[in-house]
Structure 1
Amino acid sequence: MRDTDSTCDPAWDEVLTELAERRSEFHKQGYVPRDFIEKFFPLGVYRHATPEKFGGEVIPPHEFLTMVERIGRVDGSTAWVVAFASSNTYLGALPVETQAEIYRNGPDVVAVGGLFPMQKAERTETGFRVSGHWKFASGCMAADYISVGLLDESAGGKPRAAVLPASRVTTVDNWDVSGMRASGSFDTMVEDAEIPLDWTFVRGGKPLIDEPLFRYPLIGYQAQCHAAIGLGVAQAALDYAQQAGSYRGITGAPPVGERAYHRTEFAKAYVALKSARAYFLDVAEEVWETVRAGDEARDEQKARIRLSAVNMSDVASQVVHDISAISGAAIINNSHPLNQIRMDAQVPQLHASLSQHMYDDAGAVLLGLQPTTPGFL
């Protein structure tokens, strides 16, 4: 169990220094390569959501979120990829024997997924047969396993994920975007694949692992991880603004740090981000303590996880917008630090787990009503 901020470890400084040196390489090729992902193995990132019985070393969610934030402060795309280390909690719904096979070579397993659009699969005596094409398999270029989504009426409307070794999945080289350029969220394809039932699970289904992290709200955790990416990117915008006070532009006006509107807007952005961050991490820690004590997370806690995450995402995006608005026309240059930050800042908000209707659902639950979105709780 890790209860301290592991990002204070000097090993983190070494990895993030290398990230700062290589991020342009990653952005140019469109993905974070396996050799760099493996730099996070000794830091515990890719075993934090592995069951302890298979060698996992739990990192509490609020601490993992600060890890994602710190990575995002250097590069949003790499934070996006690494954040998915948390999704190994989904694998807890697989039969324990299947999990043992996944972790047979050790606890540091890179598992990613692009489940949509879900594809119709033929039911067989032993499982499923499927051919299909899926979107947004973030981090697939460095993966050990890739999950794809199957249409299955027995799953109660939830996606059924089929887990395949990465070697059995074809990656389509079509990731050409402005934001999160190095996330490597390529399309994937399989052709006439036989998948045993024991290598499938219902996403959001009850885990078969009885450990605290697997009692933490799984889908809510994914929303938090995506919001933490945006938080890190917004921190990077504030870092830039703090270092750019002497910038004068080309008009002969005083340095931006001497302009009242610049100081005012910076202060507003600073306090907005810090306030949203405090609530965001407080909720995560509170719910962690609940499940750590052996209790189930309450519905209102699940709602506050989702509320704090969507609020964090929105505030982070707005902070980047506001800092950009007072930073001068130079930010439109492709080489300007704020240019990629601006492009990255909008992406977490676009993820389904951080959609605007989360406010409505959270409000309903906090008022004692039922949410309207399936799977919200």
Structure 2
Amino acid sequence: MSIIMDAPRTTDAARTVRAGLVERAAALRPLLAGNAERTDRERGVPDENISALAGAGLLALTRPARYGGLQTDFRTLLEVSREVGRACGSSAWVTTLLNASGWFAGLFSAEAQDDVWAGNPEARVAGVVTPSGTAQVVDGGYRVSGSWLPASGCAHADWAVLGVTRPDAEGTPDGVGIVLAPMAELTVEDTWFVTGMRGTASNTLVGKDVFVPAHRFLSVPDAIDGRYATPFTDEVLYRAPFVPAAALALTGPQLGLAAAAIDILAEKAPRRGLTFTNYTSQAEAPTIQLAAAKAASLADSAQLHAYRAAADLDEAAQAGVYPDYDARARMRMDAGMAAIHAREAVRLVCSAQGASSFGESNPLQRIWRDIEAGSRHGILNPEVAAEIYGKSLFGIRGTVSDLV
């Protein structure tokens, strides 16, 4: 069953492109699922997966068409990430983060975008927008130093988006920003030792006195208010709101993980009995039927929240109108609720399948670990999102976080 909710201005041509990309992702599921255990065990997405994803165009969703990219929309990113996530959570997360970071790069000046893509249209971007580095003003730009984690996708990237503070500009819109730096000028520290999303290899990027030209700096406060450096204002994708886009993108893999768990339940329940009962098929047991109904409904609810936010986000971009604070607060709330509902759907499936869900040979345990980790990303924090949204409903704005 499909969930139709979409931005009203989305064209039939755009929907056709989206459907084709989702079909490409679905065609890769056997490969990605077959490598999922290896991805988890080796703590990295295999090059085979990355090559297949790139070959299908699924790592070019947010690259500007000027450089041969597909320049789609956020609903498309969600649907592709969901389909990849049905096969492998880590592969979906890396797909999402490489695309999201590519979108960040598309907000920079034309010269910065040329630095990234003019010489290599296939260049991929990873990064961390948390301002855990500093940028010192020097002639022609900045000297950037710091360490940034978790840098999902950095093993497969050519450039990095890095969050920085500028001590010289503290208290101004240029006090916090993101910069673009070549991966070749950074080092990667192997720090990603985790139980969930192990395969994302979200290691730490380290930079020491990396020179960044002035045109590769983007003000975060300006971006939050919808003032981007890109001069290509007719390109709809790069008019989307900064924080809602960053948060919403992360829900795609989790929609896929929830769908994968329900797929497993639907496949296994008819062939297994319910322990310590007279049911020879779990599918005949009301307890399992109710769990399946609740899990499937929660997965649908996660999609509905995510797709509503995507519709609001894409529609605003298509209309060339930057959403106001209250609208952006609801989008962030939708992203948080999508994560919660997807996570709960997986939990219900694991409970229905019992202790066997956590056997090392059972993919459910990996799905559970991946969604427990991924759904707790800081920008998705549902409690913070709820506080922001709840206050906005009473006209209280800007007291919780600048990231709205």
Same fold (TM over 0.5): yes
User: Percent of counterpart pairs with the same letter?
Assistant: 24
Shift of residue 278 of structure 1? Answer: 2.1
Q: Superposition RMSD on alpha carbons, in Å? A: 2.3
Classify the secondary structure of the residue corresponding to 2:139: coil
Closer, same or farther: CA 372–129 of 1 in aligned 2, 3 Å: same
Aligned ranges for residues 171-250 of structure 1 at < 5 Å? 171-203=188-220, 205=223, 206-207=227-228, 208=230, 209-210=232-233, 211-245=235-269, 246-248=271-273
Aligned 8 A contact 1:361 1:376 in 2: no
Residue range with higher mean Cα deviation, 211-220 or 277-286: 277-286
C-alpha deviations, 1:143-189, integer Å up to 9, x for none? Answer: 01123332214364864223221111111122211100110100121
Which amino acid in structure 2 is aligned with residue 168 of structure 1? E
Classify the secondary structure of the residue corresponding to 2:402: coil
2:245 & 2:401 partners in 1: Cα distance? 16
Aligned ranges for residues 36-51 of structure 1 at < 5 Å? 36-51=49-64
2:107 & 2:316 partners in 1: Cα distance? 21
Which amino acid in structure 2 is aligned with residue 180 of structure 1? M
Find the counterpart in structure 2 of residue 25 from structure 1.
38
Classify the secondary structure of the residue corresponding to 2:106: helix
1:178 & 1:300 partners in 2: Cα distance? 36
Classify the secondary structure of the residue corresponding to 2:161: strand
Residue range with higher mean Cα deviation, 321-330 or 125-134: 125-134
Classify the secondary structure of the residue corresponding to 1:163: strand
Closer, same or farther: CA 351–197 of 1 in aligned 2, 3 Å: same
Residue range with higher mean Cα deviation, 48-57 or 134-143: 48-57
Closer, same or farther: CA 35–3 of 1 in aligned 2, 3 Å: same
- Whether 1:57 aligns to 2:67 is no
Shift of residue 316 of structure 1? Answer: 0.6
Aligned ranges for residues 1-377 of structure 1 at < 5 Å? 2-4=14-16, 5-7=18-20, 11-84=24-97, 85-116=99-130, 118-153=132-167, 154=169, 156=173, 159-203=176-220, 205=223, 206-207=227-228, 208=230, 209-210=232-233, 211-245=235-269, 246-248=271-273, 251=276, 253-254=278-279, 255-355=281-381, 356-377=383-404
Shift of residue 286 of structure 1? Answer: 3.5
Classify the secondary structure of the residue corresponding to 1:327: helix
**Structure 1: segments with no counterpart, 5+ residues:** none
Aligned 8 A contact 1:7 1:67 in 2: no
Shift of residue 48 of structure 1? Answer: 2.5
Residue range with higher mean Cα deviation, 148-157 or 239-248: 148-157
Count of aligned pairs? 377
2:286 & 2:265 partners in 1: Cα distance? 14
TM-score (norm 1): 0.91
Closer, same or farther: CA 373–42 of 1 in aligned 2, 3 Å: farther
C-alpha deviations, 1:274-332, integer Å up to 9, x for none? Answer: 13312321331243123213333333332221111110000111111111112121122
TM-score (norm 2): 0.86
Shift of residue 62 of structure 1? Answer: 1.1
Aligned 8 A contact 2:134 2:165 in 1: yes
Aligned 8 A contact 1:16 1:74 in 2: yes
Closer, same or farther: CA 282–31 of 1 in aligned 2, 3 Å: same
Which amino acid in structure 1 is aligned with residue 309 of structure 2? V
Classify the secondary structure of the residue corresponding to 1:148: strand
Find the counterpart in structure 1 of residue 9 from structure 2.
none
